[in-house]
C-alpha cells in the first residue's frame, strides 16, 4: 500500500526557509535599526530640538530627517511612521502565502482606525483633507474610497451609499458587515439608523473585536511556533481591549445595568486569558473597585491595575500595558521560523516612535523632569532582563 505524502506543518524545518527565509532574514536584520540605550541617554540630555536632530543623525533615522528644515514632534512622528511603512511594504512585496495574508492582517487594524477617524471627523464637520492627513499610512486603501466615506448625505440613501462603499471597497468589509447585521437585528432590521443610534467608539470597539478574533483564528491555523506566540500576543491584546472598554465605560450609558449585559458584553472579544470566566465577571463590574477585584484573580493584569490605583504619579495604566507588551514582543525575536516576529517588529517600532515623540515634547515644553517616562525597546536595563554580574 502506498504511503501518503506527509502533511506539511507551518514552520517546519523542511519548507520554512524555502518560502519565507529571505523575508524573515530581512526583518531580523531590521532589529539593528532600533535605538540603543546610549541613544536614549543622549536624547534625554538634549536641551533643544536641534540637539535632538543632531543626535539622530547617527541613528537609522538620519536619512528621513535629512530633508526636514526644522524638527518638531509631529514632523518627527510623520517621518518615522513613513519610514516604518516603507519598510513594511518592502517586506510585503517579498512575502508569499501564508505570510502575505499574515502581513495583511496587521494592516487591517489601521484600516479600521482610519475609517472610524473619517466617520467621526465627518460627523464633527471637519475637512476631508485634514482628516486624510491624519490617517495612518498602513491603513490606506484606494483614495476614491477614502474620499467617498465623508461625502454621504445625512439621510437614508446617504447611509446606504456609505455602507456599500465601506463594505465593498475595503478589505475590512466583512467586519463592518458583521457589525451592521448584528446592529440591524437589534434595531428591527433598519440598518440606516446604526450611525445615529450607536456611538462611534462603540462601533470601533466592535470592529477591533472582530479583527482580533479573526486574526487569532488565522494564526492558530498556521500551527507551529507562530500559533503559539501569536496566541499569547493576541490574547493579551484582546484582554487589554476588554479591560479598557470596561474602564472607559464608567460614567457612560454603557455602565447602566441593562447595557452592561447587552451592549458592553458584545464588545468583549471571545479570545484571551480573561475569556470566558473573566469577561463574564467584567459584565457585572460597575465601578473601579469591582474591576480591581476582578483583575486580582489574574496576576498578569493585577500589577497593571495597581499602577492605575497609584494615581499615575510615576506610570499610567497605559505605560504598564506598554511595558508588558514590549517584553512579550521582544521575546518574539527569540523564536525561529515563525511569523510573530513581523508583528513584533511593527509594534515595537510604534513604541519607539512614541518614545521619540514623548522625548521631543518634553524638551519642547521644558518638562525635563518627565522626560524619562518612556518604555525603551531592547534595552539592557529592562527589569525583565537578567542582571549581569560584576
Q: What is the 3-state secondary structure (H, E, C) of the chain?
A: CCCCCCCCCCCCCCCHHHHHHHHHHHHHHHHHHCCCHHHHHHHHCCCCHHHHHHHHCCCCCHHHHCCCCCCCHHHHHHHHHHHHHHHHHHHHHHCCCCHHHHHHHHHHHHHHHHHHHHHHHHHCCCCHHHHHHHCCHHHCCCHHHHHHHHHCCCCHHHHHHHHHHHHHHCCCHHHHHHHHHHHHHHCCCCHHHHHHHCCHHHHHHHHHHHHHHHHHHHHHHHCHHHHHHHHHHHHHHHHHHHHHHHHHHCCCHHHCHHHHHHHHHHHCCCCCCCCCHHHHHHHHCCCHHHHHHHHCCCHHHHHHHHHHHCCCCCCCHHHHHHHHHHHHHHHHCCCCCCCHHHHHHHHHHHHHHHHHHHHHHHHHCCCHHHCCCCCCCCCCCCCCCCCCCC
Q: Average the pLDDT over each of 207-216, 272-281, 308-317, 363-372 and give the range with the smallest value.
A: 308-317
Top pLDDT among 311 and 256 is at: 256
Mean pLDDT for the stretch of residues 28-56? 95
Contacts of 213 (CB under 8 A, 6+ apart): 238, 269, 270, 271
Top pLDDT among 319 and 154 is at: 319
Under the banding of pLDDT at 50, 70 and 90, the label for residue 78 is very high
Q: Is 78 exposed, middle or buried (0-12, 13-18, 19+ CB in 10 A)?
A: middle
Top pLDDT among 267 and 69 is at: 267
Q: What is the pLDDT of residues 100-111, one digit of tens each?
A: 999 999 999 999
Under the banding of pLDDT at 50, 70 and 90, the label for residue 306 is confident
Under the banding of pLDDT at 50, 70 and 90, the label for residue 54 is very high
Is the pLDDT at 325 greater than 80, yes or no?
yes
Mean pLDDT for the stretch of residues 126-147? 87
d(CA 142, CA 122): 18
The pLDDT, as a whole number, for residue 179 is: 83
When the pLDDT of each residue in the chain is averaged and rounded to a whole number, the result is 86
Which CATH code fits 18-135+337-379? 1.10.132.50
Residue 269, φ and ψ in degrees, nearest 5: -65, 150
Helix axes 156-169, 173-186, angle to 10 degrees: 140
- Which residue from 262, 257, 258, 291 is spatially nearest to 274, judged by alpha carbons? 291
The pLDDT, as a whole number, for residue 258 is: 87
Mean pLDDT for the stretch of residues 347-362? 97
Mean pLDDT for the stretch of residues 272-294? 94
The pLDDT, as a whole number, for residue 50 is: 93
d(CA 199, CA 194): 9
Contact (Cβ atoms closer than 8 angstroms) between residue 200 and residue 123: yes
d(CA 83, CA 79): 6
Any idea which residue has 467586519 for its cell?
Answer: 175
d(CA 96, CA 351): 27
Q: What is the pLDDT of residues 11-31, one digit of tens each?
A: 556 788 999 999 999 999 999
For the chain, the domains span 18-135+337-379
The distance from CA 230 to its chain's CA centroid, rounded to whole angstroms, is 14
pTM for this predicted structure: 0.91
The pLDDT, as a whole number, for residue 269 is: 96
Which range is most confident: 10-14, 148-152, 331-335? 331-335
Contact (Cβ atoms closer than 8 angstroms) between residue 114 and residue 169: no
Which range is most confident: 89-93, 165-169, 256-260? 89-93
- Which residue from 316, 212, 195 is spatially nearest to 267, judged by alpha carbons? 212
Length of the chain: 390
Top pLDDT among 20 and 388 is at: 20
Contact (Cβ atoms closer than 8 angstroms) between residue 249 and residue 188: no
Q: How many CB atoms lie within 10 A of CB 292?
A: 15
What is the sign, positive or negative, of the torsion defined by CA atoms of 239, 245, 250, 253? Answer: negative
Is the pLDDT at 196 greater than 50, yes or no?
no
Q: Average the pLDDT over each of 86-90, 139-143, 225-229, 267-271 and give the range with the smallest value.
A: 139-143
Amino acid at each position: 500500500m502506498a504511503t501518503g505524502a506527509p502533511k506539511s506543518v507551518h514552520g517546519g524545518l523542511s519548507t520554512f526557509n524555502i518560502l519565507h527565509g529571505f523575508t524573515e532574514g530581512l526583518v531580523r536584520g531590521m532589529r539593528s535599526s532600533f535605538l540603543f540605550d546610549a541613544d536614549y541617554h543622549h536624547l534625554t540630555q538634549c536641551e533643544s530640538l536641534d540637539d535632538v536632530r543632531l543626535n539622530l543623525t547617527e541613528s537609522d533615522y538620519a536619512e528621513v530627517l535629512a530633508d526636514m528644515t526644522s524638527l518638531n514632534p509631529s514632523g518627527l512622528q510623520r517621518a518615522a511612521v513613513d519610514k516604518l511603512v516603507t519598510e513594511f511594504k518592502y517586506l510585503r512585496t517579498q512575502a508569499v502565502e501564508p505570510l502575505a495574508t499574515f502581513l495583511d492582517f496587521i494592516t487591517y487594524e489601521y484600516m479600521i482606525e482610519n475609517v472610524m477617524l473619517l466617520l467621526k471627523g465627518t460627523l464633527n464637520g471637519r475637512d476631508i483633507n485634514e482628516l486624510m492627513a491624519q490617517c495612518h499610512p498602513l491603513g490606506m486603501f484606494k483614495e476614491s474610497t477614502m474620499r467617498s466615506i465623508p461625502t454621504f448625505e445625512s439621510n437614508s440613501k446617504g447611509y446606504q451609499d456609505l455602507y456599500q462603499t465601506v463594505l465593498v471597497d475595503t478589505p475590512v468589509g466583512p467586519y463592518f458587515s458583521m457589525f451592521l447585521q448584528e446592529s440591524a437585528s437589534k434595531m428591527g432590521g433598519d440598518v440606516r439608523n446604526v450611525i445615529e443610534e450607536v456611538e462611534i467608539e462603540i462601533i470601533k470597539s466592535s470592529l477591533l473585536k472582530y479583527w482580533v478574533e479573526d486574526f487569532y483564528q488565522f494564526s492558530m491555523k498556521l500551527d507551529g511556533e507562530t500559533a503559539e506566540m501569536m496566541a499569547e500576543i493576541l490574547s493579551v491584546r484582546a484582554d487589554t481591549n476588554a479591560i479598557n472598554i470596561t474602564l472607559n465605560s464608567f460614567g457612560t450609558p454603557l455602565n447602566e445595568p441593562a447595557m452592561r449585559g447587552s451592549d458592553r458584553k458584545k464588545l468583549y472579544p471571545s479570545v484571551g486569558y480573561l475569556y470566558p470566566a473573566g469577561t463574564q465577571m467584567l459584565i457585572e463590574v460597575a465601578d473601579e473597585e469591582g474591576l480591581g477585584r476582578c483583575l486580582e484573580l489574574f496576576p498578569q493584569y493585577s500589577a497593571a491595575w495597581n499602577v492605575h490605583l497609584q494615581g499615575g504619579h510615576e506610570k499610567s495604566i497605559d505605560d504598564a500595558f506598554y511595558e508588558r507588551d514590549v517584553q512579550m514582543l521582544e521575546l518574539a525575536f527569540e523564536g525561529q521560523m515563525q511569523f510573530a516576529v513581523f508583528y513584533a517588529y511593527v509594534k515595537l517600532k510604534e513604541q519607539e516612535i512614541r518614545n521619540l515623540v514623548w522625548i521631543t515634547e518634553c524638551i519642547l515644553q521644558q518638562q525635563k523632569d518627565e522626560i524619562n517616562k518612556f518604555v525603551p525597546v531592547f534595552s539592557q536595563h529592562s527589569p525583565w532582563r537578567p542582571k549581569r554580574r560584576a
